[in-house]
Amino acid sequence: MTSVEATRQPVLELTGIGKEFGAIRALHDVDMQVYPGEVVGLMGDNGAGKSTLVKIIAGNFRPSHGEIRFDGNAVHFHRPIDARAVGIEVVYQDLALADNLTAAANVFLGRELKRNFGPVSLLDHRAMAARALELFGELRSETRPHDLVKQMSGGQRQAVAIARTRLSNAKLVMMDEPTAAISVRQVEQVLSLIHRLKEQGVAVMLISHRMPDVFAVCDRVVVMRRGEKRADKAIHDTSPEEVTALITGAKEAA
């Protein structure tokens, strides 16, 4: 880990991030770095500030204090599309897929490939299906581009949602509770998808309540409590027991 930190600059660097909603302090003075090819687990109880932090990084909220640097440059996101433009993608818990469309259509939703026929530009179905198949191949997911999403398993849906992020060559993918509502076998699939992203040099932030998943794939775990970062440890320097203690407040900081 230390060698990675020494040789490469962080893809995401947060300095002194704070957020207030009126009188409520949701986040206070959060510093954090995420490096390329690193999987960081973001843990904390409900209301600990995880989702506020994610929404700030994704451009849904603007921070009240602090600075976000992405790829070495200071960035200011006004809308989620600004974050997406620099290479930050979010895989939402409910996956944000249109059930009535095919896998390929969902992967390319909002950025369809087109071909011009004179004045009209029509969808290039063949190119989109071929590219989607390539992406599913990279993710080693058995997903057919022409199948409807409504007929798919939870793991395949995750693959479609993650393929979307690969399409845009995202540098940072934030996954919100990807393993919350799926079967044990599909959890395996999702964790292997995260490994695929890591292999491609993508930084992943995994927001999860499930301790075994975090310890299975993450290089590092960040624990939030009451809007503050309480711990930021390499996964082999900590234990599920310690993280649980940090989340519940039995242990104040580490």
Tell me the closest approach of the beta carbon of residue 141 to other proteins, in angstroms: 8
181 binds other proteins (CB under 8 A): no
Contact between 182 and other proteins by CB under 8 A: the answer reads: no
- Identified binder of other proteins from the candidate list 98, 181, 250, 253, rule CB under 8 A: 98
Residue closer to other proteins by CB (options 174, 223) is 174
Residues 121 and 115: their CA atoms lie apart, in Å, by 5
Q: How far is the CB of 178 from other proteins (least distance, A)?
A: 16
Q: Is 96 in the site for other proteins (CB under 8 A)?
A: yes
Query: Should residue 196 be labelled a site residue for other proteins when binding is judged by CB under 8 A?
Result: no
Burial 2-36 (b: 16+ CB within 10 A, else e): eeeeeeeebbbbbeebbbeeeeeebbbebebbbbb
| Smaller CB separation from other proteins, 59 or 63 | 59
Per CB under 8 A, which of residues 120..179 are in contact with other proteins? 120-123, 125, 130, 133-134, 136-138, 140-144, 147, 151, 156, 164
CB 20 within 8 A of CB 64: yes
Comparing CB distances to other proteins, the nearer of 8 and 111 is 111
Dihedral angle of Cα 75, 78, 81, 86, to the nearest 10 degrees: 0
Q: How far is CA 62 from CA 21, 53, 80, 83, 175, in A?
A: 11, 10, 10, 11, 20
Q: In the complex with other proteins, which residue's Cβ is closer, 8 or 140?
A: 140
Number of residues that bind other proteins (CB under 8 A): 38
> What are the angstrom distances between the C-alpha of 31 and each of 103, 217, 227?
38, 22, 12
Instruction: Choose which of 84, 166, 198, 225 interacts with other proteins (CB under 8 A).
Output: 84
What token pair was written down for 195? 């490994």
- Tell me the C-alpha distance between 139 and 168, whole Å: 15
**Which residues face 41 on adjacent strands?**
206, 221
Residue ranges binding other proteins (CB under 8 A): 80-81, 84, 92, 94-101, 105, 109-112, 114, 120-123, 125, 130, 133-134, 136-138, 140-144, 147, 151, 156, 164
